[in-house]
Amino acid sequence: MEFSFNLFKPHRERKPKSSEPLVAIKPNGRIVFNSQATELLGNLTYCMLGYDTDNKALGVLPLQTQESNAFPIRYASKGAYIGAKKFFRYFGILPERLIEEHPIKQGEYIGIRM
């Protein structure tokens, strides 16, 4: 008797964990920082968000205190995230798929290309 085995091949392969700062922008409106990118936030609890239409880039400005229109930064064991669906809808830039980019520190801002 001969067998004809089909091997298990998952549809999505897992990527190895990156040791570099990485920010993911998800279709549900979350901006997710991995543990290395979380260091750029400086353990601050709020941020202001901006959008550069010419360069198609998102700007995160971490803040010490809550201000009008500031978004809370939520810290987790493996990083941090910002719930920003209203921001993305306001500018009409809510992504249809996951975007992963390396953040760029520019002055007080953290820039992320979209």
112/103 Cα distance (integer angstroms) = 5
pLDDT at 15: 65
Q: What residues contact 105, with CB distance under 8 A and at least 6 apart? A: 40, 111
Rounded to a whole number, what is the distance in angstroms from the first to the last CA of the chain?
56
pLDDT classification of 13: cutoffs 50, 70, 90:
low
pTM listed for this prediction: 0.82
Instruction: Report percent pLDDT > 70 for the chain.
Output: 94
Residue 12: pLDDT over 80: no
Average pLDDT over residues 66-93: 95
Evaluate if residue 4 carries a pLDDT over 90. no
Kindly state the average pLDDT of the residues 10-32: 84
Contact of 80 with 38, CB cutoff 8 Å: yes
The pLDDT mean for the chain works out to: 91
Confidence band of 14 (pLDDT split at 50, 70, 90):
low
92-114: per-residue pLDDT in tens? 999 999 999 999 999 999 999 99
pLDDT at 18 over 70: no
